[in-house]
A and B are shown apart, each in its own frame.
Chain A
Amino acid sequence: MSSRNTSISYFSVKSIILLCHICLLGVVFFNGKYENITSVLILSVIVIATDLGYFLLLNMISQKTYTLDYLMILLLNITVIYHSCFGGVNFATKHYIITIIAFLACQFSYKFAQNPYKLEALKKFYYLAMVLIILSIIFLTGSRGIWIDIKGLFTIQPSELLKPFFVLVCATSIYFQQEKITLFGFRFVPDNVILFLFAIIILGLQWWSRDLGSIPTFFTVAFCALISRIAYPKGKLPKNLLVTALILILILAFIAIMMAPAYVKDRLFVDIWGDMYGNGYQQTRALIAIAEGGLFGKGPGHGFLHNVAAYQTDIIFSTIAEEWGLVSVILVISIILIMLTTALINNPKCYYHSTLAAGVVAVFVVQMSLNIFGSCNLIPFTGVTIPFISEGGTSMLTSGILLGFLKATQTPVFKDKPLNRKVKK
């Protein structure tokens, strides 16, 4: 085989990313609300320096795919600029540090997830990790809250950390699906049953700890897992199983909503305009902010939404729309969408990675939908974060890890030595 010149020059990409950031900084400079021009200068210097730092880092690591990395750099620094401007130009230190952690986490998880066989062989460890996290949720956070407070410095949200492991567990290879065992006269894949049990446990846990926003996320990932597995069992049983399972789930959901405690019902069925200063406060103010922002926003720093609770997490969509305009926020959302479509452009070659990609896409899209549509009152309001855009340490970390998985699915490596997968002769 002749070796080809397989290097692509990313110079144009790097320069355009720099230009984008400079342009946004220019908007901040001309239109922003700031007391001292030094704050704008500090922001600009740090953003551009970080850009160059990321580029240098990427140059040193040799990978086979860089598109997701560059998209990530573009997005992360845009969010740093946005977060630094809410209510007045400042520097959002916490968010900045978290973005760097997310970027590094992405690189690590990419290296980790490249070999699909190795990934699959480690499934037992994922289950173990999930059990540990579930135990920590039960004992450390209790049924009232979802965060663990560490020495008052920062908080961890363990249920977010469940997501990467759950996605890894939901992915499967065709080969794995063919390894059935017979028990009580049923032929089934043990992995599927354990997965099913775990899914139920996790959904129950979310219900118990009142973290209603994560339930649709896990449910959708589990559903994707189900779809990726139903083609393989022998016999007609699975199709009926699927239908009965769906009906059961719908009935369960209906009963759950009807029997839900008042706290849940309050959040689910709210007439926000009738209760503008009570239950509907956040959503009405969010909608008003979007309307006031118009197409191009009021200008960085000129918004008022930073006085409303959860402006950086749950209603971040409107906060950005108010200061930067509807056009900008849609653009940012489309950056995430383009990230996800690279999985369509560059198809993974093995089934495990392909189902992994589907799981990652499901997590991202469901979280975005819940957040955006909920804050705009198309669906009931839940407290979920938009990946990468909302502020939140664990959320950012998880999103970085998941993006690393997505990156890995584009360039799988098949030649590594596996850990302990035995080939039955």
Chain B
Amino acid sequence: MRNLKRNSRVITMILSVFIIGMVVLIVKIYKESSFYIVNSGEAYLGYVYDRKGDVLFDQNATPEKYDVNHFIDVGNIIGDESPNMTNTLVYANKELLNNYSFLKGAVNNGKSAIYTTLNHEANKAVYNAFGYKNGTVIAYNYLTGEILVCVSKPSVNPMVGYENLEEGSLLCKAFYKYVPGSTQKIATVIAALENLGVDKLYNKSYNCSGEYYNLNNQSIKCHKIDGHGVQNISQAFANSCNPFFAQLVADVDLPLDGIINSYTKMGYAVNKKESKKNKINGIIYNTASTNLKDKNDFDTQWGCIGQGDTEVSPCQLMIWQSAIVNETGISTNPQLISYVTDVDGNKIEKLQTNYSELLFSSSTAIETKKIMLENGLNYTYSIPGYSLGIKSGTAEIKDGKETNSFLVGFNNDPNLPVAFCVVIENKLETDITTEYLTNILLSSLK
């Protein structure tokens, strides 16, 4: 009796374990079924649109449906479902585009889609304006975080294919680090303001005679051979004067730890092996890194001026602008997806503006904004019609054989709240200018 009952209990236990296992299995299959379909190579993927409904990705794109160069400007950021470019919007969000639900099965005309924040018209205009030059442009709305333009040349045309591509076509270079050139001075100004405060910084003035010998007797040359004479911070910023900034960094009132602290708060990886990477809707982007060892050393001083070991991504440069122009020291996080529709067409996952932590104090932001706006006045001729805060930069790469030209800034107008970073690679005298690209950018976004 008792023993028979014990055997019944053994049987019951065995059966219950099995039933529990089956329940776990069914739940697992239900949850992961979309993932299986996506990996089966037979998924019906939906479309990706720009903010006005223009198609940026079509799984069955043919030259009959679209102009042959329709997708080339977004090739390496929107991408497609093939594993050739894994750091693109489509590849990173395949499951959102999958027209499948376990109850329905694979739906032929499903309405799964991603509506991005990009402005395809502006994107195409900027892409075409590059002409035969390479580089990258990224611009976003610093109030909402919507990325409006993201161009990286050379790019890839998904309709044509992946053969015989120029090097760098498969990357969106806005998300990879460059040597920033003089645009680095923005970060140094912020570090100085954070550590010295407005008044003390403005009381600092140094002389530029064309060349500065630091305490280690190394020479920091200015781009103006005769020098700029005595300047304060705002003037030096506008002049992009290297000796001024070298002396500022070497100044005893500005401790190296203070600079490192401010840089780290902004997001730099200082004296570290790897820099941080963040994500925009699944796309990974690099931030910034540098090595600062000795404030009286050539490399460290150049690191704060714009060469040395410093590297920043154009995306990160753009993000800092929002912290400056918003006068808060808090940057707006960029986002690429405006909203997503599921297989029935219902809106899910709408964009919600979110912000970073405090990168620098709001008084620093206000002052930096003033400095940049003052510098922006120098561009009213080349970029007319806007109230811009600007910093330009020229970075030497490949041992001085090539230079990249940068233009970073913001439009101080809540009706066109754009922060941007423009990079032209291997800029020569006769080429287009970053100001030209900025003009095209802003006028097409109006």
A, B in one complex: yes
CB-contact partner of B25 in A340, A343, A373, under 8 A: A373
**With a CB–CB cut-off of 8 A, which chain A residues contact B3?**
174, 231, 351, 354
Beta-carbon contact of B18 and A337 below 8 Å = yes
The smallest beta-carbon distance between B370 and chain A, in angstroms, is: 54
- Bound-state CA distance A361–B7 (Å) is 11
- B-binding segment of A107-115, A146-154, A288-296, A385-393: A288-296
Q: Is B105 an interface residue (CB 8 A)?
A: yes
Beta-carbon contact of B21 and A378 below 8 Å = yes
- B-binding segment of A6-14, A92-100, A362-370: A362-370
Q: Is B108 an interface residue (CB 8 A)?
A: no
CB-contact partner of A333 in B11, B12, B22, under 8 A: B22
The smallest beta-carbon distance between A233 and chain B, in angstroms, is: 14
**With a CB–CB cut-off of 8 A, which chain B residues contact A362?**
14
**With a CB–CB cut-off of 8 A, which chain A residues contact B17?**
365, 369
Q: Which residues of A264-299 have CB atoms within 8 Å of chain B's CB atoms?
A: 273, 276, 284, 287-288, 290-295
Number of interface residues of B (CB under 8 A): 33
**With a CB–CB cut-off of 8 A, which chain B residues contact A376?**
25, 28-29
Beta-carbon contact of B14 and A344 below 8 Å = no
CB-contact partner of B33 in A224, A276, A291, A347, under 8 A: A291
With known contacts A292-B37, A372-B25, A361–B14 Cβ distance under 8 A: yes
Q: Is B36 an interface residue (CB 8 A)?
A: yes
Q: Which residue of chain A has its CB nearest to the CB of B30?
A: A326
**With a CB–CB cut-off of 8 A, which chain B residues contact A361?**
11, 14-15
Scoring B7, B12, B32, B106 by chain A CB atoms within 10 A of each residue's CB, the highest score goes to B7
Q: Is B280 an interface residue (CB 8 A)?
A: no
- Bound-state CA distance A90–B108 (Å) is 30
With known contacts A295-B103, A369-B21, A227–B10 Cβ distance under 8 A: yes
Q: Is B215 an interface residue (CB 8 A)?
A: no
Beta-carbon contact of B4 and A347 below 8 Å = yes
Q: Is B6 an interface residue (CB 8 A)?
A: yes
Q: Which residues of A73-116 have CB atoms within 8 Å of chain B's CB atoms?
A: none
Q: Is B446 an interface residue (CB 8 A)?
A: no
CB-contact partner of B24 in A344, A351, A378, under 8 A: A378
**With a CB–CB cut-off of 8 A, which chain A residues contact B103?**
294-295
Q: Which residue of chain A has its CB nearest to the CB of B2?
A: A231
Beta-carbon contact of A284 and B39 below 8 Å = yes
Beta-carbon contact of A365 and B14 below 8 Å = yes
Q: Which residues of B122-171 have CB atoms within 8 Å of chain A's CB atoms?
A: none
With known contacts A295-B102, A330-B26, A378-B25, A341–B15 Cβ distance under 8 A: yes
Beta-carbon contact of B4 and A290 below 8 Å = no
- Bound-state CA distance A378–B20 (Å) is 13
Q: Which residue of chain A has its CB nearest to the CB of B5?
A: A347
Scoring A220, A294, A378 by chain B CB atoms within 10 A of each residue's CB, the highest score goes to A294
- Bound-state CA distance A361–B36 (Å) is 33
**With a CB–CB cut-off of 8 A, which chain B residues contact A206?**
none
With known contacts A224-B10, A284-B39, A292-B106, A365–B15 Cβ distance under 8 A: yes
**With a CB–CB cut-off of 8 A, which chain A residues contact B10?**
224, 227-228, 358
Scoring B11, B21, B25, B32 by chain A CB atoms within 10 A of each residue's CB, the highest score goes to B11
Q: Is B8 an interface residue (CB 8 A)?
A: yes
Q: Which residue of chain B has its CB nearest to the CB of A336?
A: B18
The smallest beta-carbon distance between A306 and chain B, in angstroms, is: 17
Q: Is A348 an interface residue (CB 8 A)?
A: yes
Q: Is A214 an interface residue (CB 8 A)?
A: no
Q: Is A357 an interface residue (CB 8 A)?
A: yes
With known contacts A291-B102, A294-B103, A337–B19 Cβ distance under 8 A: yes
Beta-carbon contact of A291 and B29 below 8 Å = yes
The smallest beta-carbon distance between A247 and chain B, in angstroms, is: 21
**With a CB–CB cut-off of 8 A, which chain B residues contact A333?**
22
The smallest beta-carbon distance between B93 and chain A, in angstroms, is: 18
- Bound-state CA distance A4–B82 (Å) is 75
**With a CB–CB cut-off of 8 A, which chain B residues contact A341?**
15
Q: Which residue of chain A has its CB nearest to the CB of B19?
A: A337
Q: Is A44 an interface residue (CB 8 A)?
A: no
- Bound-state CA distance A341–B14 (Å) is 11
Q: Which residues of A223-240 have CB atoms within 8 Å of chain B's CB atoms?
A: 224, 227-228, 231
- Bound-state CA distance A220–B36 (Å) is 33
Beta-carbon contact of A276 and B39 below 8 Å = yes
With known contacts A291-B36, A337-B19, A340-B15, A231–B6 Cβ distance under 8 A: yes
With known contacts A292-B40, A294-B103, A337-B18, A344–B25 Cβ distance under 8 A: no
Beta-carbon contact of A378 and B28 below 8 Å = yes
**With a CB–CB cut-off of 8 A, which chain B residues contact A351?**
3-4, 7
Q: Is B272 an interface residue (CB 8 A)?
A: no
- Bound-state CA distance A332–B439 (Å) is 69
Beta-carbon contact of A294 and B7 below 8 Å = no
Q: Is B273 an interface residue (CB 8 A)?
A: no
Q: Is A382 an interface residue (CB 8 A)?
A: no
Contact with A along B94-110 (1 / 0, CB 8 A): 00000010111110000
Beta-carbon contact of A337 and B15 below 8 Å = yes
Q: Which residues of B37-67 have CB atoms within 8 Å of chain A's CB atoms?
A: 37, 39-40
Q: Is A312 an interface residue (CB 8 A)?
A: no
- Bound-state CA distance A153–B137 (Å) is 72
Q: Is A395 an interface residue (CB 8 A)?
A: no
The smallest beta-carbon distance between A338 and chain B, in angstroms, is: 10
- Bound-state CA distance A14–B21 (Å) is 32
- Bound-state CA distance A340–B21 (Å) is 17
- Bound-state CA distance A340–B18 (Å) is 12
**With a CB–CB cut-off of 8 A, which chain A residues contact B29?**
287, 290-291, 326, 376
The smallest beta-carbon distance between A366 and chain B, in angstroms, is: 8
The smallest beta-carbon distance between B5 and chain A, in angstroms, is: 8
The smallest beta-carbon distance between A347 and chain B, in angstroms, is: 6
Q: Is A410 an interface residue (CB 8 A)?
A: no
Q: Is A355 an interface residue (CB 8 A)?
A: yes
**With a CB–CB cut-off of 8 A, which chain A residues contact B12?**
344
Contact with B along A186-202 (1 / 0, CB 8 A): 00000000000000000
Query: What are 7 sample pairs from A and B whose C-beta atoms fall under 8 A apart?
Result: A228-B7, A231-B6, A287-B29, A293-B105, A337-B19, A376-B28, A378-B25
Additional A-B contacts beyond A337-B19, A365-B17 (4; CB < 8 A): A291-B100, A340-B15, A348-B4, A358-B10
B residues sitting closer than 8 Å to A (CB atoms) are 3-4, 6-8, 10-12, 14-15, 17-19, 21-22, 24-26, 28-29, 32-34, 36-37, 39-40, 100, 102-106
Across the A-B interface, give the 8 residue pairs with the lowest CB-CB distance, nearest first.
A291-B33, A291-B36, A354-B7, A294-B105, A288-B40, A288-B36, A365-B18, A287-B36
